[in-house]
A and B are shown apart, each in its own frame.
Chain A
Amino acid sequence: MKQPHRRSFLKLAGTSLGIGVLYSAYPAARSSGEVGSLFSALGGASGEKVSPFSFVQLSDAHVGFNGPPDPLGTKAFERAIEMINALPQRPDLVLFTGDLTHDTEDRDVHVQRMRQFQEISKRINAPMIKCVPGEHDAGLDGGALYREFFGESHYSFDHRGVHFVALDNVSRAKPEIGAEQLAWLKADLARFSKGAPIVVFTHRPLFDLRPDWEWFTSDGDDVMNVLSAYDNVSVLYGHIHRDDEHETGNVHHYAARSLIFAFPDPAGVSGPRKPLPFDKDHPFKNLGIRTVSFNGKAQPGSRSVAVEDIELTAREFEGINGIQQMLREPLV
Chain B
Amino acid sequence: MARPEVVILRRGVILAISYIIIVILIAAILEGSGYSMRIYEAMVREAVNAEIMALRRGGNVSPTFIEEYKKNMTIYYMRVYGLVDDKGNIIPPYVRMWTLVWRALRLDLGKTTSYSVAELVPTVPPVDVFHVIATILPRTIIVVTVGEIIAALIAVKFGPRIAYKHGSFTDKLIVTYAAIMNAVPLWWLAMIFLYVFAYQLKLFPRSMRGVAVAFYYFWRDPLGNFISILYHITLPLIVFLIAILGGWLYSFRAMLLRIVREDFVMAAKARGLPEALITKKYILKPSLPPVLTTIILALAGSLGGFIITESVFDWPGMGTLYYSAIESGDSVMIMALFIVYVLVYLAARFTLEILYIIVDPRVRVR
Physical interaction between A and B: no
Enumerate chain B interface residues (CB-CB to A < 8 A). Answer: none
